[in-house]
Structure 1
């Protein structure tokens, strides 16, 4: 009989029914699918985590099914003391109203910068308390989707710790309400993080860039180096002649590597997030007024995280001749823009790693 079954299998005839190995293998995938489906169904059920969620669940059981509090707590495994607890905290009505007002005024600011603004106004509350009220009021800033970042080890950027050590230039594009496009030339000091110029116009050529830089040098002084990308405005004959006449070392980043000009790229992102995406421009004069007001606020009022939540103007004033920043607010995470000169080095032109 066994030999007959094997011959039937070889010629393709159906084998006699029985608990054979092939039937067990066929049942295994169905069992795995059932187990996977049950796990998905269990994961789809929202877990009751936290005292507030437990109180809501107990209240729902009592209202919907008419069970007692003891029975509802035993069903969801909640402690009756935790369910009956009522908070004794103060309402903090004035502080909540001021926090909401600042969040409405600064729509793209998180709780850290709002905490710095409140501390400037004399609010003694700590950062954790402000964060709790920030979450309870639902003021969390919605994060915009960012591009995928490249991974890898990068060498530190070298810059002398003093103002006018290096400037960065780049363009930002936007459009009016009518659909006509315009661009903004941004000039940033890499050490102090100051916005030295933000010039909007419908067309900015290389000669216009040279004229604006000349006027900026007359007000602030000559930089040691200027960094930019390889745009046609920056590689024109007018810019090359201007750099040679003024004795400025003009450095071009590698093509397709905007991270090599990270300071002005970061500034462009803040301008895009806090100004361009939040405003509607009706004319060139309107855009110039809005951009000028935002640049002034950026330099004098907006706290900057990379320089210990100081303003760029205050940080520039605190820099000494040796590149050491003055004492900063202990409530903020102080982090200097550049390290002081290494021990044993007496050359004032020594380059140090930026922060």
Structure 2
């Protein structure tokens, strides 16, 4: 059983000692004032009732503590004020806690053509020469694996995510109207849960869905691309300036789209596979379940 001999026989020959709960420190029943005199809890309760009646439940127990210290010179902490208010039944009702869940959770989809589902995510890069980070925001088409839009900058806000999205839609000729817009899938980063991004999606008539927390596998394609970017480029060189970082990432993006062959798209580059599919309609893959 994996129990040592001494432990086994100790349990056989020794009676366990019962644990006795001794309780916490007894309640003293008073508090000290700044001049050293003792102020009973009953007196403090009267002062609390006066404060409550005067302000009409305007203060919680923390502010009542401040009032006791200020008006009566009592040395008291918020925990004791909370206990006394609870005994008096005058605790101010707390605001209900509203849990924030994604407005629309990502659901399972079968992707059979371009521009059906785009995944977006943010990645950090490090500039050694300037000791600072920079941001890379990328949109990937799940069907053909092409990076349809990307942003590189020293900061990344919701407006940058919107700008990059519009640029990607223009590149795919989806802003002219008459074509179905892609579904945008993201995590719960601040850029994507902002009102700016949500309003832009509503304006463009785009469905935006967010993955549940701690489920990066539901955004696997963009996560995989950023891992490639890290392994192939960012981790293999020390960037000295932001200009060098921008040029390096931009060059990699163009190489990935136009030259790097991908096993999931018949060993073609993403851009080549997309062109062949749009031109001939013959280049296709198995439905992608995401």
- TM-score for the superposition, normalised by structure 2: 0.57
Match of residue 168, structure 1, among 119, 131, 138: 119
Could you say what secondary structure the match of 2:151 adopts? strand
| Partner of residue 192, structure 1 | 144
Moved more, 227-236 or 284-293: 284-293
Which one has a larger percent helix, Structure 1 or Structure 2?
A: 1
Kept in 1, the 8 Å contact 2:149–2:165? The answer is no
Kept in 2, the 8 Å contact 1:162–1:323? The answer is no
| Partner of residue 265, structure 2 | 307
Provide the C-alpha distance between the structure 1 equivalents of 2:214 and 2:233, rounded to a whole number of angstroms.
Answer: 26
Which one has a larger percent strand, Structure 1 or Structure 2?
A: 2
Match of residue 277, structure 1, among 235, 240, 243: 235
Kept in 2, the 8 Å contact 1:182–1:201? The answer is yes
Q: How does 1:77-116 map to 2 (within 5 A)?
A: none
Provide the C-alpha distance between the structure 2 equivalents of 1:288 and 1:320, rounded to a whole number of angstroms.
Answer: 31
Kept in 2, the 8 Å contact 1:176–1:280? The answer is yes
1:354 Cα offset (Å): 4.0
| Partner of residue 198, structure 2 | 240
Provide the C-alpha distance between the structure 2 equivalents of 1:255 and 1:324, rounded to a whole number of angstroms.
Answer: 38
Kept in 1, the 8 Å contact 2:151–2:160? The answer is no
Could you say what secondary structure the match of 1:261 adopts? helix
Could you say what secondary structure the match of 1:175 adopts? strand
Provide the C-alpha distance between the structure 1 equivalents of 2:135 and 2:245, rounded to a whole number of angstroms.
Answer: 10
1:196 Cα offset (Å): 1.6
Provide the C-alpha distance between the structure 1 equivalents of 2:165 and 2:190, rounded to a whole number of angstroms.
Answer: 16
The answer to whether the aligner puts 1:211 opposite 2:169 as a matched pair is: no
Kept in 1, the 8 Å contact 2:111–2:142? The answer is no
| Partner of residue 158, structure 1 | 109
Q: How does 1:4-43 map to 2 (within 5 A)?
A: none
1:228 Cα offset (Å): 0.3
| Partner of residue 253, structure 1 | 211
1:211 Cα offset (Å): 1.7
1:304 Cα offset (Å): 0.7
Unaligned runs of 5+ in 1: 1-155, 327-335, 340-352
User: Residues 182 and 262 of structure 1: is their aligned pair in 2 closer, same or farther, counting only changes over 3 Å?
Assistant: same
Kept in 1, the 8 Å contact 2:150–2:164? The answer is no
- Residue deviations 1:290-340 (CA, integer Å, cap 9, x gap): 1111111111111112222211111112225896516xxxxxxxxx2x34x
Unaligned runs of 5+ in 2: 1-106, 175-180
Provide the C-alpha distance between the structure 1 equivalents of 2:147 and 2:169, rounded to a whole number of angstroms.
Answer: 14
- Residue deviations 1:3-27 (CA, integer Å, cap 9, x gap): xxxxxxxxxxxxxxxxxxxxxxxxx
Provide the C-alpha distance between the structure 1 equivalents of 2:225 and 2:275, rounded to a whole number of angstroms.
Answer: 20
1:279 Cα offset (Å): 2.0
Provide the C-alpha distance between the structure 2 equivalents of 1:216 and 1:236, rounded to a whole number of angstroms.
Answer: 20
Provide the C-alpha distance between the structure 2 equivalents of 1:227 and 1:308, rounded to a whole number of angstroms.
Answer: 25
Kept in 2, the 8 Å contact 1:175–1:181? The answer is yes
User: Residues 208 and 261 of structure 1: is their aligned pair in 2 closer, same or farther, counting only changes over 3 Å?
Assistant: same
1:162 Cα offset (Å): 1.8
